[in-house]
């Protein structure tokens, strides 16, 4: 249920930033964080009900992309060894923990960047 904490941060930001006034908000969800979409949507609706607010939003899931700082290879989660449930849980809470459990598939370096699909971010249409 840490999705609830993320939903709180999303709603607070949308309410506070003038950029979102009158816009359809896009909630980008990084593949890496593996948010439980049903729990997140439920938390969003419950918090909005409590705040007596309505937000026009949609969720877009982004695939993760990485770039190795050592050899320059671009890679995705599908190219790395399957992670255990425990490892997935740790990455779910702190996406940067991917660096503890993933290496570049080409040169095995742990020095890589998360280019895309990390966690939650907001935009609008």
Interface residue list for other proteins (CB under 8 A): 1-2, 4-6, 8-10, 12-14, 16-17, 19, 26, 28, 69, 86-87, 90, 93-97, 99-101, 109-111, 113-114, 118-125
In the bound state with other proteins, the residue whose beta carbon lies nearer, of 76 and 97, is 97
The Cα–Cα gap between 3 and 43 comes to 7
Nearest approach, Cβ of residue 78 and other proteins (Å): 21
The Cα–Cα gap between 73 and 5 comes to 34
Residue with token string 């923990």: 97
In the bound state with other proteins, the residue whose beta carbon lies nearer, of 74 and 123, is 123
Nearest approach, Cβ of residue 34 and other proteins (Å): 14
- Three-state DSSP state, 65: strand
The sign of the dihedral angle between the CA atoms of 77, 81, 82, 84 is: negative
Nearest approach, Cβ of residue 89 and other proteins (Å): 8
């Amino acid at each position: 249920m840490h999705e609830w904490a993320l939903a709180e941060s999303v709603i607070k930001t949308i309410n506070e930033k003038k950029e979102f006034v009158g816009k359809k908000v896009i909630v980008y969800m990084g593949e890496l964080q593996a948010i439980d979409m049903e729990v997140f949507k439920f938390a969003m609706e419950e918090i909005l009900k409590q705040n007596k607010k309505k937000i026009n939003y949609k969720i877009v899931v982004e695939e993760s992309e990485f770039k190795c700082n050592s050899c320059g290879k671009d890679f995705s989660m599908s190219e790395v060894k399957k992670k255990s449930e425990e490892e997935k849980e740790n990455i779910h809470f702190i996406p940067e923990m991917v660096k503890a459990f993933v290496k570049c598939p080409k040169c095995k370096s742990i020095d890589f960047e998360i280019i895309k699909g990390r966690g939650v971010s907001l935009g609008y249409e």
